[in-house]
């Protein structure tokens, strides 16, 4: 007799990193700890739009990292290839307009996001660390960050998940010909 279908308690986007329920539960526990959420009920998260829906009144969270056994060391920015003028220009533009990139040192998706910018531009990103010390967590909780990476810019819809450089250009209004203005 086949096993009964399991009902997921939370949709997880993991770039294929978590495939079994035990890893998914571990990821959820990490996220709850990091973000200080007290409880979670049946919900689903649409990580592409940042919206959530589901039955119950609990919070929904999208975890864009691996389970504890899959944790990778922090990205060594010095090992990235040099940044192109376009990557540097976009990084400067994002900082100048007040965009913020929220992430966690242990988050593989955050490392992938930084790597898209190359060495120098990744260092210059307007990055907000959400999990190195308790005060980091407080900042991210206050900003209502529910997934990593998250890009925030006042007056714009939040971007959740790894974003291509082209998507960040469109979202931020970057124009390389005019220096980003």
Q: What is the pLDDT of residues 76-130, one digit of tens each?
A: 888 999 999 999 999 999 999 999 999 999 999 999 999 999 999 999 999 999 9
Q: 101: which DSSP letter? A: E
Residue 41 reports pLDDT greater than 90:
no
- Average model confidence (pLDDT) for the chain? 73
pLDDT digits (tens, 9 = 90+) for 18-35: 444 445 455 554 554 444
The whole-number pLDDT of residue 31 equals 53
Q: Nearest to residue 179, comparing CAs of 83, 97, 69, 66?
A: 97
CA 104 to chain centre: 8
In the chain, which residue ranges form alpha helices assigned H by DSSP?
21-35, 85-96, 108-115, 118-124, 134-142, 165-172
pLDDT digits (tens, 9 = 90+) for 131-167: 999 999 999 999 999 999 999 999 999 999 999 999 9
pLDDT digits (tens, 9 = 90+) for 64-85: 434 444 555 678 888 999 999 9
What are φ and ψ of residue 134, in 5° steps? Answer: -55, -35
The whole-number pLDDT of residue 144 equals 97
Q: Please answer whether residues 84 and 133 qualify as being in contact, where contact means their C-beta atoms are separated by less than 8 angstroms.
A: no
Residue 14 reports pLDDT greater than 90:
no
Q: Could you give all domains of the chain from N- to C-terminal order, each with its CATH number? A: 21-70 (no CATH), 77-178 (3.40.30.10)
The whole-number pLDDT of residue 177 equals 72
Q: Nearest to residue 168, comparing CAs of 76, 108, 97?
A: 97
Distance between CA atoms of 121 and 137, rounded to whole angstroms? 25
Across the chain, which distance is largest between two alpha carbons, in Å?
Answer: 65
């Amino acid at each position: 007799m086949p096993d009964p279908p399991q009902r997921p308690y939370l949709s997880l986007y993991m770039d294929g990193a978590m495939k079994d329920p035990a890893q998914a539960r571990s990821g959820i526990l990490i996220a709850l700890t990091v973000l200080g959420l007290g409880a979670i009920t049946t919900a689903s998260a649409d990580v592409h739009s940042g919206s959530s829906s589901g039955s119950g009144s609990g919070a929904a969270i999208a975890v864009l990292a691996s389970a504890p056994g899959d944790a990778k060391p922090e990205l060594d920015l010095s090992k990235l290839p040099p940044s192109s003028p376009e990557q540097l220009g976009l990084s400067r533009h994002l900082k100048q307009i007040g965009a913020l990139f929220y992430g966690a040192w242990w988050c593989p998706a955050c490392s992938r996001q930084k790597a898209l910018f190359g060495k120098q531009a990744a260092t210059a990103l307007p990055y907000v660390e959400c999990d190195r010390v308790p005060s980091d967590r407080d900042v991210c909780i206050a900003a209502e960050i529910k997934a990593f990476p998250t890009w925030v810019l006042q007056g714009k819809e939040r971007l959740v998940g790894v974003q291509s450089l082209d998507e960040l250009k469109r979202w931020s209004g970057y124009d390389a010909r005019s220096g980003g203005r």
